[in-house]
Amino acid sequence: MTQDDAAAQDAEALAATIWTQVDRALSGVSARPEPSVRDLIVHIPPDELVRGLRALKHDAALAFDYLRCLTCVDNEDDGMDVVYHLYSIAGRYNLTVKTQLPPDNLAVDSATGVWRAADWYEREAQEMFGVRFRGHPDPRNLLMPEEITDSFPLRKDHPLAEIEVLQGEGVAYSEEPA
Amino acid sequence: MNNDLFGFEINVWADAAARLGLIVGLMTVVVMGLIYGERKIIARFQQRLGPTRTGPAGLLQSVADALKLVAKEDVRPRSADPWVFELAPYFVFVPIFLMFVAIPFALRWEIRVLELGLFYVLAVSSVNIVGWVMAGWGSDNRYAMLGALRAAAQAISYELPLVMSLISVGIVADSFNLTEIVRSQGQVPNIVWQPLPFFLFFVAILAELNRTPFDIPVGESEVVGGPFVEYSGIRWSMFFLAEYAALFILALLGAAVFLGGWAWPLGEEWGLGWQLVLTALKAGALIFAVFWVRVTMPRLRIDQLMAFSWKVLLPISFVQVLANGLVLVYEPPQHIANILLAAVSGAGLLLVVWIMNHSVGKPRPRPVLSPRAATAPTATRSEAAR
Amino acid sequence: MTTVPFPHEHEFETQDLMINMGPQHPSTHGVFRMVLQVDGEVVRDVVPYIGYMHRGGEKLAETMDFRQGIGWMDRTEYLAQHNAELSYVMAVEALAELEVPERAQWIRMILCELNRLSSHFMFTGAFGTDAGIFGTAFVYSFREREVILDLFEEISGDRLMYAYFRPGGLAWDVPDNFARRVAEVLKSTRQGIKDMDGLLTENEIFRARTVDIGKISAADAIDWGCTGPVLRASGVPLDLRRTEPYLYYDQLDFDIITGTNGDVYDRFVVRVEEMRQSVRIIEQCMERLRPGPILPDRLPRMLRTPPGEVYLRTEAPRGEYGIYMVSRGGNRPHRLKIRSSCFANLQALRDMTIGSYVADAVVILGSLDIVLCEVDR
């Protein structure tokens, strides 16, 4: 398959989606579409993200008024993705918005001003991945004890350390002569 | 100085001691029986068996529980106020037992016949709220404090309908002597012509006893036992004993005042045994009703409880007292008096039922069934969403 | 006319009381903690604390291959296990592009709806206790739930942790007496729903305690990301079985229940009515169930998916249960995010509770029907 074929296929896949409408709503924001298994994915750079999300929510035709889910994906050396799953209750559209954060600057503006639902999701992502959400009203830890702020358990470089150590110790004990 | 105890001549002090001893012994047994009965009855309501393992049919369960409670460590929180905390059970326990002095079981079977027996019982019964507040305050626990304040508010509110309902009966019977009240309803018990005071009395004793739907001070799912949350062992069991003793006493009181006590329907000529059986049956029916309400009713909220007392029960009880006062003052012929009382009572009762249906429990439309067409996705949209 | 101030008005100060409810409290449904700031009996502020059950489940799921992950889903949502498994296996199927045989799909629907029934029975029982009934609603609900769990045990071999669904189908076929047993279960369930209506919905005191309590408007509920019965009670007919049909829900005839008021009563009644709809759905599924295979013909021994990502959501009893699965190829997910339905519903607790009474706070929390394992994961 040549480059052109793939591009044509992508264009065909995009034509079946709501990309044209999203593109119109996101005028002035540099967005890049990507078809996926179920929902359309739109990539927006981090510094334009909240502007884009707000535009998506307040667009009359799309009206993404419902934030389904917000989470992070650790891409190891390539930084992190912050993923927003949006839904429009009136139009029944789904959309996935992704923004890629460089490893040296894991920060993005908070979406709590767009949907209040983002509150706890962002707190969770912050403590689990170390992504900072600028302007979050209550950036305390949500699930973990409040004093743990230097360890991010869902990152790929965070080992299941204690389990491995414990298992290792168990083996060591059983091998020792009684 | 001698006195008459069940037909025997006996020294007055020995008589008093014997009577009090009888009462304390009787109470312990009765309370254990009540606890066992409650567990069995509630179990049947809930399709369970209740206690079965301890003794034949689980009969010794209460004994085992009592032994366990006595053997448990008596813990006092360090930050509790020692005197208030330790004395609170007595302030709950003693007034309840003092109520027994005037309660008649059968003809001439009471500790003392008091001319103002009804008045005395009401006066003494309201003292125990002091113990509740002491327990709540002394525990230094916020749940306990909240529970104690709820208990105080509730007790003060429901004292009034209780007093009003009993006063209206006393007015018609022309006496506050419990024996006289029983005798006055030899043919027809008070509940027939005055169902409203009986209803008020029943609701008020549920509140006095902190039973569902008025178990707000001790609500398990809200304040986790309320004032008793920090108590354990023997002190907690004193609260428990007092609660069931109060249930028994108020049921006896209700049986005597509203259900004709030992007299109706057999009359006073029948022997002591029959009289005791009648009293026990009537009190037992009341206790059963309390248990029944307990297993089927949710709990009211504190403001709803207060509103129900002050805005519904109290005004209606005033109307009943007014009607009874008319009967007392103008002394109409017996059948006219009865019809007047029954009319006022019945109307009041219907009003209460109407209020409960339409104001307390607000009627609501059932939720909407969205028909299939309204929510089925349109083809283009669902395609577009993919 | 001049108003004369009460002489002690300025000397007499009151102070709000902080009450800590949980993590061990009879009505916090697991290890949930909320700190109530109360003025007398009126709640001025609520601060919820979660995370006591956090087990790093998403991290664990990234270390498990696709079959081990099924068992883990049971442990995140221990009251609607089949629904949780369904989201997971459907996510794997979407990534691996597996076709599922028809019989397996129908059985999945039956089990998911039965699980919805058992979960809602758990709710009605626990909610009765929250509202102050001394265990009666609880025992009646549990009798019905037990009947359903017995059936699940006969099918999967376990009362709670079923791990019965597989990517591509089911672990094994249902027993031969399945149709008869489902009919028995439905008979007792119908009676159980009637009991719940009689014991709770029709009760005056229950209505007094629930009507107009903990109201949340449709706009607020959407903004907080509420789903399931909590959202539908506010009048939004969002039910994924209808709006984005999966399995064969689009072939069946059933109603979406919506409330009008968004209060605790509506959340309760919506669930009770949903149980009636679930019974309807199961009956229709049983009519359409035909013999056939329950796994695809060719299924690799070790399942691998091509790279890709999918956010797969199904309608669990408590709302949208979503699995966001990112695969980099291989036999385990690169990232697995569980979108918990209660997590979002619980966020709205503060809005619902402020200004109500302490007793209402308990009832409102109960009406959200949270499962802390699912919230904390």
ipTM at complex level = 0.83
Q: What is the pLDDT of residues C197-206, one digit of tens each?
A: 888 887 888 8
Using alpha carbons, list the distances in angstroms from residue B381 to A23, A69, B306.
17, 21, 54
Cβ contact C26:B220 at 8 Å: yes
Q: Which two tokens stand for residue C72?
A: 């883990």
Q: Is the pLDDT of residue A137 over 80?
A: yes
Mean pLDDT along residues C265-283: 89
Instruction: Please choose, from the candidates C72, C31, C80, the residue with its C-alpha nearest in 3D space to the C-alpha of residue C52.
Output: C31
Q: Hey, where are the domains in chain B?
A: 1-71, 74-361
How far out from the chain centre does Cα B106 lie? 21
Would you state the pLDDT for residue A173? 41
Does the beta-carbon distance from A120 to C343 stay under 8 Å? Answer: yes
How near does any CA of chain B get to the CA of A3, in Å?
A: 25
Say which residue, C190 or A14, is predicted with more confidence. Answer: C190
Would you state the pLDDT for residue C236? 85
Would you state the pLDDT for residue C189? 92
d(CA C305, CA C97): 8
- Optimal mutation site among A40, A57, A87, A152, interface C, most CBs of chain C within 10 A: A87
Cβ neighbours of C95 in A, within 8 Å: 37
Using alpha carbons, list the distances in angstroms from residue B312 to B118, B341, C335.
24, 19, 61
Place of tokens 């691996």: C96
How near does any CA of chain A get to the CA of B384, in Å?
A: 5
Does the beta-carbon distance from A17 to B377 stay under 8 Å? Answer: no
Q: Beta partners for B215? A: none
Distance in angstroms between the alpha carbons of the first and the last residue of chain B: 101
Would you state the pLDDT for residue C113? 92
- Pick among 3.40.50.300, 1.10.645.10, 1.10.10.10, 3.40.50.720: CATH of C56-376: 1.10.645.10
Own/partner pairs for A119-125, CB < 8 Å, 24+ apart? Answer: A119/C347, A120/C343, A120/C344, A120/C346, A120/C347, A121/A67, A121/A69, A121/A70, A121/A71, A122/A70, A125/A70, A125/A71, A125/A72, A125/A82
Question: How does residue C96 score in pLDDT terms, banded at 50, 70 and 90?
Answer: confident
How near does any CA of chain B get to the CA of A35, in Å?
A: 9
Say which residue, A11 or A23, is predicted with more confidence. Answer: A23
Would you state the pLDDT for residue A161? 56
Cβ contact C326:C335 at 8 Å: yes
Q: Hey, where are the domains in chain C?
A: 56-376
| Cα Rg of chain B (Å, integer) | 25
Would you state the pLDDT for residue B378? 36
Question: How does residue C117 score in pLDDT terms, banded at 50, 70 and 90?
Answer: very high
Say which residue, B364 or C166, is predicted with more confidence. Answer: C166
Subunits with 3+ Cβ pairs within 8 Å of C are A, B
CB atoms < 10 A from the CB of B381, how many?
15
Does the beta-carbon distance from A17 to B384 stay under 8 Å? Answer: yes
Bridging pattern class, strands C33-39 and C42-49: antiparallel
Would you state the pLDDT for residue B384? 36
- Pick C132's closest partner by Cβ from B298, B366, B376: B298
Subunits with 3+ Cβ pairs within 8 Å of B are A, C
Mean pLDDT for chain C?
A: 86
Ordered structural domains, chain A, with CATH? 3-151 (3.30.460.80)
d(CA C364, CA C366): 5
Burial of C26 (0-12, 13-18, 19+ CB in 10 A): middle
How many CB contacts within 8 angstroms connect chain B with chain C?
159
Number of H helices, E strands in chain C: 15, 9
Does the beta-carbon distance from B385 to A18 stay under 8 Å? Answer: yes
Cβ contact A114:A54 at 8 Å: yes
Cβ neighbours of A18 in B, within 8 Å: 384-385
Would you state the pLDDT for residue C112? 92
Say which residue, B219 or C20, is predicted with more confidence. Answer: C20
C343, closest residue in chain A (CA to CA): A120
How far out from the chain centre does Cα C4 lie? 56
Would you state the pLDDT for residue C371? 86
Subunits with 3+ Cβ pairs within 8 Å of A are B, C
Would you state the pLDDT for residue C185? 92
Residue C23: phi and psi, rounded to 5, are -70, -10
Q: What is the pLDDT of residues C38-55, one digit of tens each?
A: 887 888 888 888 888 888
- The beta strands (E) that lie in C235-349 are given as 256-258, 308-316, 319-327, 335-339
Mean pLDDT along residues C251-270: 86
- Pick B221's closest partner by Cβ from C26, C136, C199: C26
Query: pLDDT by residue for chain B (386 residues), tens digit each?
Result: 456 655 666 777 887 788 778 878 888 888 888 989 988 998 988 888 888 888 888 888 888 888 888 888 888 888 888 888 888 988 988 888 888 888 887 777 777 778 888 888 888 888 888 989 999 888 888 888 888 988 898 888 888 889 888 888 888 888 888 888 888 877 788 888 888 889 999 999 898 888 878 888 887 777 787 888 888 888 888 888 888 888 998 998 898 888 887 777 777 777 777 888 888 888 999 999 999 888 888 888 888 888 888 888 888 888 888 888 888 888 888 888 888 888 888 888 888 888 887 776 666 666 565 544 344 443 333 333 33
Question: How does residue C293 score in pLDDT terms, banded at 50, 70 and 90?
Answer: confident
Would you state the pLDDT for residue C279? 92
Mean pLDDT along residues C233-243: 86
Angle between helices B82-98 and B233-257 (to 10 degrees): 30
Mean pLDDT along residues C89-102: 88
B377, closest residue in chain A (CA to CA): A92
